[in-house]
Every structure is written in structure tokens, then in C-alpha cells.
Amino acid sequence: MKKSERTYSFLEAKQKIEAWCAYQERAQSEVEKRLSDYGLDMEDTFALISHLITNNFLNEQRFAEAFASGKVRIKRWGRRKIYNELIQKQVSKNTIQAAFDTIDLVVYENNLQFLAERKYAETKGDLYERKMKTARFLTGKGYEFELIQDVLERICD
């Protein structure tokens, strides 16, 4: 029997979902999907989500802040990539903006500088080709075009 085929009673699902949310921050959409996988109907799902929010197991703002800071510190992602991921997780735009306000700009800019220098150094070709490959790489990481231009100007001088 697959994990997704198993259905849980309301109390079993409540215990499992509380433990799952206590382990790390979760988006509400992730919790809804997990409860749906547990075989709960919409009424029970909404009741459990309400319980999780009331008892502070689930907090969208806290999730967005943890997600953004973790992706900046560990994966060195830019704001655009983080924004797209949070939108996919159905986090509101106001919440995302508030999470961006908590990102340490010094760390963010140092990440961009580090990634740009590393990519530029390992890229072969003429000056233009190296700049373009580095810019494409940084765009893929989610950094803003204006910041990329600034850092590439500093590197190439």
C-alpha cells in the first residue's frame, strides 16, 4: 500500500500534521495538500488548518521569512527566484514583500558578488562572452538585472 493511499482519522491526521508543522515552517498550500493526501474531506481540512493557525503551528509570515532567508543564506538565490517560488506556494504578495524586508542586504549583495566573481573566473572566452554567460547565470539564480549590471561593471574594471 502506498503512503498516499492510506487514509487517516481526524485525530490521527491532527497528530501527524502537528508534528509535520512543528518540524519546520510550512506554507498553507503544502498543509492543504498533505491533508488531502491523508484522505480528509474539505471540512476537516479547514478545521485542522484553523486549529494549526490558532495554535501557532502554521504562520504564513513566519514561513515566508524563513524560506526567503534560508534561500538567500544557503542556496544564494536572488529575490526574483524566491518570489516565484513563494507565489507557487500561494503566499500573498504582501507577505512576500514583508519577507523581503527581513533579508540582510549585505549578505544578499555579498552572495551576488561571490557568485559573479566565481562564474566569471571559471568562464572561458572573450570579455563580452564571459560577461553574458555570467549575467545569464545570475539571472537564473534570480538576481535583478540592475544589480547584475553593477556587479559585472565592478568585476570587469
Q: For the segment 116-133, what is each residue's pLDDT rounded down to a tens digit? A: 999 999 999 999 999 999
Closest CA to 71 of 84, 53, 56, 57: 84
Work out the angle at residue 56's Cα, subtended by the Cα atoms of residues 55 and 57, and round it to the nearest 5 degrees. Answer: 95
H helices present in 38-126, as ranges? 42-54, 60-70, 79-88, 93-101, 105-122
pLDDT at 1 over 60: no
Its sign, for the CA torsion 54, 31, 41, 38, is negative
pLDDT in tens, 44-78: 999 999 999 999 999 999 999 999 999 999 999 99
State the Cα–Cα distance between residues 133 and 93, nearest whole angstrom.
31
pTM: 0.89
Q: Are 97 and 63 in contact (CB under 8 A)?
A: no
Its sign, for the CA torsion 74, 79, 80, 83, is positive
Residue 150: Cβ-neighbour burial (10 angstroms; 0-12, 13-18, 19+): middle
